[in-house]
Amino acid sequence: MESVLAGQSQQVTVTSQRLDHQQLPGKVVAGAVPFCCWGARFLAHRMPVSGIFLRMLSGSPAALITGASRGIGRGIAIGLARLGYGVAINYVTRREAAEECAALCLQAAPPNSQARFEPIQADVSRGEDRARLLEFACDRFGWIDLLVNNAGVAPRTRTDLLQATEESFDYVLATNLKGPYFLTQAVANFWVENLFKLSPERHKPKIVNITSVSAYAASVNRGDYCLAKAALSMMTKLFAIRLAEYGIPVFEIRPGIVATDMTSAVKEQYEGRISEGLTPIRRWGTAEDVGRAVAAIAEERFPFSTGEVINVDGGFHLERL
Shorter beta-carbon distance to ligand NAP: residue 246 or 284: 284
What distance in Å separates the CA atoms of residue 305 and residue 194, rounded to the nearest whole number?
Answer: 23
Shorter beta-carbon distance to ligand NAP: residue 75 or 249: 75
| Smallest gap from residue 119 Cβ to ligand NAP (A) | 10
* Strand 309-312 with 117-121, pairing: unpaired
| Smallest gap from residue 287 Cβ to ligand NAP (A) | 7
Strand order in the sheet with 62-65: 117-121, 86-91, 62-65, 146-149, 206-210, 250-255, 309-312
| Smallest gap from residue 4 Cβ to ligand NAP (A) | 26
Coil, helix or strand at residue 151:
coil
| Smallest gap from residue 213 Cβ to ligand NAP (A) | 6
What distance in Å separates the CA atoms of residue 52 and residue 10, rounded to the nearest whole number?
Answer: 9
Shorter beta-carbon distance to ligand NAP: residue 26 or 71: 71
Coil, helix or strand at residue 45:
coil
| Smallest gap from residue 250 Cβ to ligand NAP (A) | 16
Shorter beta-carbon distance to ligand NAP: residue 192 or 258: 258
Shorter beta-carbon distance to ligand NAP: residue 73 or 247: 73
| Smallest gap from residue 33 Cβ to ligand NAP (A) | 36
- Residue 67's region, left for phi above 0, alpha for psi from -120 to 50, else beta, is left
Shorter beta-carbon distance to ligand NAP: residue 37 or 174: 174
What distance in Å separates the CA atoms of residue 194 and residue 26, rounded to the nearest whole number?
Answer: 8
What distance in Å separates the CA atoms of residue 53 and residue 104, rounded to the nearest whole number?
Answer: 29
Q: Which residues bind ligand NAP (CB under 6 A)?
A: 66-73, 90-94, 97, 123-125, 150-153, 175, 210, 212, 255, 257-258, 260-263
Q: Among residues 125, 128, 168, which one has the least CA distance to residue 149?
A: 125
